[in-house]
Amino acid sequence: MTVCAIVAAFNEERTIAEVVAGVRRHVPHVVVVDDGSTDRTGERAAVAGATVLAHAKNQGKGMAIRTGLAHVLPQPYSHILFIDGDLQHDPADIPRLTAAAEDSKASFVITERMFTRGEMPTARFYSNRIGSRILSGFIGTKVDDSQSGFRLVRSDCLRGVRLTATGYELETEMLIKLTRIGASLCRVSIEARYHGANSKLRSFRDTFRTCVLAVWYRYFAVR
C-alpha cells in the first residue's frame, strides 16, 4: 500500500501545520490545496513538509479536492487519504484506516464519528443524522456519517469516476459514485473532536442541498 494524503484547506493557519506533521508520521506524501486562503495556511503547510497547490480565490472544498486529485492520481499511489485541515480528525487514527483497508480488502474506508447528542451543535447532530439516513437508502449500505471527510480510497476506483461537485457535497458524490461502480465499503468508528471553532458547513442548508444533489448523482449523473 502506497498512500498520498490530500488536505483541502481554507484559512486554517492555526491548525494546518499540526495536521501536516501528524499525517506525515504515517503517510510520507501530503498535498495541501490552499483554497484561496487570506491567511498563512499555504506557507505553514509548506514549512511543515506538504506539497502546496494554491487557488487564487476560494472555490469550495469540492474544487480543492478535485485539484488535489488531478495532481495525485497520475502518480503511482495505490490509495488516497482524505483528511480535513482543522484537526477535527486525529491523524493518529490513520493506521486504523490503512489496517482496515488491508484486512477487509475494501476499496473505500470511511470513518464515522461517534456522535453524542449534547456534545456537538444540535443543528449539526440532526443534519448529519438525516443526511446519513437518506444516503444509506440511496447506496443500499448503512452509513452513519456520510459527510465524513476522513476517508481512504483506492486510486484505481477514483480514476473510474468523474467528480463534478464544487462544495461539501463532494463527499456525497464520491460515496454514491464509488458504490455505483461496485466499490466495497468499510466503516471505522472514530472519536469526534471539536475545538470550539465555527464550522464552515452550513448545517441544514448544506444538508438539504446535498440530499437534492444525491438524487442527481444516484439516478442521473454520469459516472
Q: Do residues 213 and 136 lie in contact, with contact meaning Cβ atoms separated by under 8 Å?
A: no
- Strand segments, DSSP code E, in 100-211 are 108-113, 151-154, 185-190
Domain residues for the domain of 7 are 3-219
Number of domains in the chain: 1
- 49's CB contacts (< 8 A; 6+ apart) are 20, 21, 24, 30
d(CA 202, CA 2): 35
The residue with greater pLDDT, 139 or 103, is: 103
Q: What is the largest CA-CA distance in the chain?
A: 44
Mean pLDDT, to the nearest integer, of 27-32? 97
CATH number at residue 123: 3.90.550.10
CA distance 175 to 191: 21
For residue 206, the model assigns a pLDDT of 61
Residue-wise pLDDT tens digits, 109-151: 999 876 555 555 555 555 666 666 666 666 667 676 667 889 9
Q: Rounded to two decimals, what is the model's pTM? A: 0.82
- On whether the CB atoms of residues 89 and 193 are closer than 8 A, the answer is yes
Write the burial class of residue 51 (CB in 10 Å: 0-12 exposed, 13-18 middle, 19+ buried).
Answer: middle
Per-residue pLDDT of 171-222, as tens digits, reads: 888 988 998 889 999 999 888 666 545 555 555 566 666 566 666 556 656 5
